[in-house]
A and B are shown apart, each in its own frame.
Chain A
Amino acid sequence: MSGEARAFYAMDLGVATTAVALVGRVAGRLRLLGALSLPAGAPADAVLAALTARFVASDPLLAAALQTESSDRWPRLTARSTPPVGLAVIAATERSLEPLVAAGQRTGWRVRSGSAERLDSLALSSLLLDRDVRTILVGAGEPAAADERNALGSLAALAAAAASRRPELTVILTGAMAEQAPRFAAAPDRPGEVLLGPAATAGAPPGTALRELLGRARGGADESRPAFALGVRALAAALDRRVEGIEIGLDGGVRVQAGPGRTDEPGNLQWSVHASGGLAPIEPDEASIDGVLAWSTVRLDRHRTRDRLRDLRLLPWGHVAGEGAAFRLAAARAAVARLVAATPELSALPPADLLVVSGGAFAVAPGPAIALAVADVVRRAGAVQLAYDHARLLAPLGTIGAAPQRLAVVADLASDLLVPLGSVIMPQGMRAGRSGGRLVVHGTAGSSELDLLPGGLELVDLPPGETAVAEFEFRDTVRLGTRGRHFAIDVAGGLGGLLVDLRDVPLRLPDRPDRRRELLAAWQGALWIGGEP
């Protein structure tokens, strides 16, 4: 993309949603001029035309200055989500299989697996010959463990036979299994590649090297989730803050942690893509049902929950008015919970200053309700600012190939691309049953005082653009970043204001479904005006 373009389109083409944004140069800097999201299935050109028409109608003078009549020649930054594809993982032993499966799951594959220890050759062959499998990963330790060595030859023979019958398969051999590569000698007309990779535990931290290989093998250059990670890194650098990004789509989710870096080197970046982090699993299992029921404010039994999840997958934009919106947000909470549970290595990093959420899962709910949904599930003691990638710009911006240009564009757009949802302050270690202390919020319009009741969720009105100082005096020592009783924290406003979350970390909800629903509905009702339980 030319750095001097008058305007450009950013397109995030998801499995369920087509999101487009119009960015133009106004008074020497890039500004977000409009955004539109519609269910996938409409031609992207038609959606761009509708967005452009809206912009022209709302600001004809600026439209004339940007020469919208030539908008069909404006550059387009496009990120696409492709549905996770099947990866069959086989190994000699269950022990060697486990890290291989983990690597596949953390790079967004839909993993099926088996070991020679548990499955016979017939079952393993059936696994590799399944039509849904597009890539096979055959791995061993480096060097092979004593209990693996005897099975390596026959396992490689089995995989090579499957690869010869399905020449379109990509084959990845890792660790000591790479020595078996001659069995997979590529035929001239074989379209599938044979890749040699490191052992599952190689790299620092362990597994990084294989995950990089699997990520490359899976995605195209404009794949949206890796691009989202790069967009978050650029944002961290632009804002000079630690940023966490969570994106939930229909078919998968990604969690990113990025540091600001230094002037001479990019900030560190860790991210993980999971098919299990999608809004609606292909085949909801009992754990998925439990996850949604745990967060549902809608009265549903297990069977109806399963049916609604299946229909949500078939028609992600269907029936989202009324009760459907609340159900969708419950499914989004469950998806975030699955993603957080699947990424303990990211939870172990220092907490971010800013948490950005993105993706079609949040497209229907109002901002304050999104803030609460995130606070319900991502529970870390401390203070964090929440923001929403409302125009879904981060992934398209992440596709800009040159890092300095990406950083420059993100820095220019940083104030437009995020909708501030608010700040969340979450102390840990308050004792239940009595007043836990006092909070004074010093804002530009004056100060307000609040009694801190353990287990409660207090909302302080703090609109977007406002800042304040929250001064806490706890009766007992709590953990809030550090341990102490007195804290003064700079907070920024947002659609949800300041959420003082005095609930347990992690959150404990009543076991009885009706009481749990009532409690969740009460919390959500305060932040979702006109929402249905």
Chain B
Amino acid sequence: MTDPLARTMPPGLELVSSRRFIEPTVDAWLPLRPGDRPRVTAGQSVVPGIPLADRLRDARLIDVPARPGGKPGDRWSAAPAARGGEGSRSPHPEGEILFETGGRWRIAIGEQHEAVHSPIEGIVREVRPGVGLVIRSAGSALWGVLALGDAARGRLEIATGADGELRPRSLDVGSAGAILVVGARIDAEALTRARAMGIRGVIVATLPGKDRRDYLASEARQRSSLHQVPAFGVLVLHGSQRRPIAEGAMRLLERLAGREVAIVGTPPALVFDPQGVPPEVDPPDMIHVRSGPLAGRRGQWAGFAGLRRFSGGTHLEAALVRFGEDAPIAMPIGDLERLT
């Protein structure tokens, strides 16, 4: 009744939560709203930069007589006769059928579009007008916990160490077009400045809620302007309270430096081409610290310790973990994880 994998791992280690460190592929979701026009079809191969959809920036409703054959989600365009005296040079009104009632269609329509480009190479698995589309990536994925902004693509640059912090004045215009790894945390001002300098994205261990909110407000102001803003994505790897990038993740990012990578938002992940980046396989007794004062470090499993008393008068199931040459220390099992 035990986990078959447990036979190859030290006793007790199977009680530690496990998750996949790198997914061989990811189904990236791009939400669409009623009126947005998909420009790809299911089964189609896509490469980075190919337009996936035209997003309506000023969607509104119109009411037109229904015609035979249309159904919700279909595209609608005005027949030439319906365009009155505007002539053939007038813009061709086009929209999406929402529903029919009383012999009339409600159409989502608008004039201003912005193109959404694919950040990754892959195959379109599903297209649902007004709902979203799914692309199965050709590349592998490193999970984050949160992504803000757009899906974005660029070459990966390491700007700071795993426990570093990037200040606004440290940003360099030479990083335009890059996705920067910026260490433990970043503030909203640095994010806003990075976007303004043409940087394509940021990968960070943690983003405090206040900076998240300030950045999103700044982005909303940018989007309300008439011109299209370049794609800029933020991938948060671990959470909200400051901590370094986990050792395993940092080692992978260092190996990806200089290569083209992409940030996707749903699910939040960094997508990369695994060619030339062979996976590092953890030894069977390797354990990673995911929370607590030692978050980010990795050590060796030294045994299940049972129920232990920890600070604050708490009694928790614990494990012994050895860091380097130091003596093993007892840590709550909830602070640990296995990466497979």
Which residues 315-340 in B have Cβ within 8 Å of A in the complex? 315-317, 332-335, 337
Which of A42, A131, A314 touches B131 (beta carbons < 8 Å)?
A131
Asked if A324 and B14 make an inter-chain contact with CB atoms under 8 angstroms apart, the answer reads no
A50 touches B1 (CB 8 A): no
What residues of chain A lie closer than 8 Å to B73, measured between beta carbons? 164-165
The number of chain B residues with a CB under 8 A from chain A is: 60
Flag if A315 contacts B291 (CB, 8 Å): yes
The answer to whether the Cβ of A279 comes within 8 Å of any Cβ in the partner chain is no
A120, CB-defined interface residue at 8 Å:
yes
Q: Which chain A residues in 5-63 approach chain B with CB under 8 Å? A: 36-43, 45-50
Q: Which A residues are in CB contact (< 8 Å) with B60?
A: 122
Q: Is B241 an interface residue when CB atoms closer than 8 A count as contact? A: yes
Tell me whether B241 and A308 are in contact (CB under 8 A).
yes
Set A120, A315, A323: member contacting B290, Cβ < 8 A: A315
Nearest A residue to B291, CB-CB:
A318
Given contacts A50-B15, A157-B101, A320-B334, contact A326 B128 (CB under 8 A): no
Say yes or no: is A388 at the interface (Cβ < 8 Å to chain B).
Answer: no
Name B100's contact: one of A37, A157, A324 (CB within 8 Å): A157
Q: Is A310 in contact with B292, judged by CB distance below 8 angstroms? A: no
Stretch among B37-45, B162-170, B280-288, B306-314 lining the A interface: B306-314
Q: How far is the CB of A388 from chain B (nearest CB, A)?
A: 14
Instruction: Name which of B18, B334, B337 has the most chain A CB atoms within 10 A of its CB.
Output: B334
**Judging by beta carbons under 8 Å apart, are B61 and A121 in contact?**
yes
Contact B239 A315 (CB under 8 A): yes
A contact residues around B316 at 8 Å (CB): 320-321, 364
In the complex, are the beta carbons of A125 and B34 less than 8 A apart?
yes
A45 is contacted by which of B2, B145, B304 (Cβ under 8 Å)? B2
Check if A125 sits within 8 Å of B130, measured CB to CB: yes
B223: Cβ under 8 A from any A Cβ: no
Among B261-318, those with CB < 8 Å from A are: 290-292, 295, 304, 309-317
What chain A residues lie within 8 Å of B125 (beta carbons)? none
State whether A39 and B3 are in contact (beta carbons under 8 Å apart), knowing that A121-B61, A131-B29, A303-B209 are contacts in the complex: no
**Contact present for B101 and A325 (CB under 8 Å):** no
A317 adjacent to chain B (CB < 8 Å): yes
Flag if A321 contacts B99 (CB, 8 Å): no
Interface string of A304-346 (1 = CB under 8 A from B): 1011101100110111111111100000000000000000000
Those 4 A-B pairs whose CB atoms lie nearest each other, nearest first: A41-B17, A317-B334, A318-B291, A530-B313
B interface residues (Cβ-Cβ under 8 A, vs A): 1-3, 6, 12, 14-19, 29, 31, 33-35, 59-61, 71-73, 98-102, 106, 108, 128-132, 145, 208-210, 239-241, 290-292, 295, 304, 309-317, 332-335, 337
Given A39-B334, A41-B16, output 13 extra A-B contacts at Cβ < 8 Å: A41-B18, A41-B337, A46-B3, A46-B15, A125-B34, A129-B34, A131-B31, A306-B240, A310-B240, A318-B291, A366-B313, A528-B313, A530-B313
